[in-house]
């Protein structure tokens, strides 16, 4: 604390430019975020971006800001700038996936044509760990079916998933080759049960790709991932499946509508 009456430190010569630089970075940030969101929403016809002059007018910012934004998006691998030709979107399309129903991306997307492909990587019986047993509300050591799958969207790696299902209800998935496991888990589960599933408890988080996941998703080690864990229940509330998945964050966006709580 300064003694009473003693003047505080005077602004340095570089303080005003630093303030302007901070303001510029804030502008770059929001323009970059908005343009990236537009690209994810596929709002640019033929995946061609407007000219620099058009972007300057559109966002009411300087040429320097626009050029910095385009450089950032190019470094992210979202766009490609070709001298004399223009700026193009090069990132694969992102799917907006609603999470307000007990269904997955394959069911939603493939209703409009096959774009999502699920491939079984491994299926086997294994004793349930204490954690998995808790999620499935079974006893530790009870056998579970471990089903691992890989998913692609438009031919590009999208996600990898490990599912655990109680063997007393789904043990046939290991031995019955007539059951097609290269499908939506919701479809497989409903087929085995002979009835639709009930509610799904879904948790969404983020992580970074380790070497195993990075190789499967064709990303660099340390890349950002979108992780989900879910518990699928039957109509009576009994757990049918607990799963853990890792998805490329540049391929999918989860979407829902947040309702106003009763009484507000």
Q: Which two tokens stand for residue 166?
A: 């109680």
pLDDT over 80 at 84, yes or no: no
pLDDT over 70 at 93, yes or no: no
Sheet holding 116-127, edge to edge: 116-127, 143-153, 156-166, 239-248, 224-233, 200-208
Structure confidence at residue 171 as a pLDDT band (50, 70, 90): very high
Structure confidence at residue 103 as a pLDDT band (50, 70, 90): low
CATH code given to domain 21-89: 1.10.10.10
| Mean pLDDT, rounded, for 18-24 | 78
Q: What residue spans define the domains of the chain?
A: 21-89, 95-255
Percent of the chain with pLDDT over 70: 83
Distance CA 167, CA 50 (A): 56
pLDDT in tens, 203-214: 999 999 999 999
3-state secondary structure of 161: strand
User: Angle at which helices 63-75 and 15-40 pack, to 10 degrees?
Assistant: 60
pLDDT in tens, 35-81: 888 887 777 766 788 899 999 999 999 999 999 999 998 887 788 88
Q: Which CATH superfamily is domain 95-255 in?
A: Chorismate lyase-like (3.40.1410.10)
Q: Do domains 21-89 and 95-255 have the same CATH topology?
A: no
Q: Which two tokens stand for residue 1?
A: 């604390």
List 202's β-bridge partners, or say none. Answer: 230
pLDDT at position 102 is 65
Helix segments in 76-223, DSSP class H: 105-109, 130-136, 167-170, 172-175, 185-193, 211-217
List 95's β-bridge partners, or say none. Answer: 252
- Write the burial class of residue 92 (CB in 10 Å: 0-12 exposed, 13-18 middle, 19+ buried): middle
* 8 A C-beta contact, residue 230 and residue 202: yes
């Amino acid at each position: 604390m300064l003694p009473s009456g003693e003047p505080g430190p005077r602004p340095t010569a570089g303080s005003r430019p630093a303030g302007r630089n901070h303001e510029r970075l804030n502008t770059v940030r929001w323009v970059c975020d908005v343009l990236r969101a537009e690209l994810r929403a596929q709002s640019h016809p033929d995946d061609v971006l407007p000219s620099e002059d058009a972007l300057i007018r559109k966002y009411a910012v300087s040429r320097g800001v626009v050029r910095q934004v385009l450089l950032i998006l190019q470094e992210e691998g979202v766009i490609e700038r070709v001298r004399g030709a223009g700026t193009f979107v090069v990132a694969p399309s992102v799917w907006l996936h609603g999470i307000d129903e007990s269904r997955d991306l394959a069911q939603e997307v493939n209703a409009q044509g096959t774009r999502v492909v699920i491939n079984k990587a491994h299926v086997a019986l294994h004793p349930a760990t204490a954690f998995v047993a808790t999620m499935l509300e079974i006893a530790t050591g009870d056998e579970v079916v471990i089903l691992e799958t890989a998913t692609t969207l438009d031919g590009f790696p999208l996600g990898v998933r490990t599912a655990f299902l109680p063997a007393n209800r789904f043990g046939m998935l290991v031995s019955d080759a007539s059951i097609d496991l290269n499908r939506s888990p919701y479809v497989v589960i409903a087929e085995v049960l002979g009835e639709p599933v009930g509610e799904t408890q879904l948790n969404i988080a983020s992580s970074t790709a380790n070497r195993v996941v990075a190789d499967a998703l064709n990303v660099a080690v340390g890349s950002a991932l979108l992780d989900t864990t879910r518990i699928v229940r039957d109509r009576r509330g009994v757990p049918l499946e607990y799963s853990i998945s890792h998805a490329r964050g540049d391929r999918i966006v989860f979407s829902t509508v947040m309702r106003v709580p009763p009484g507000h």
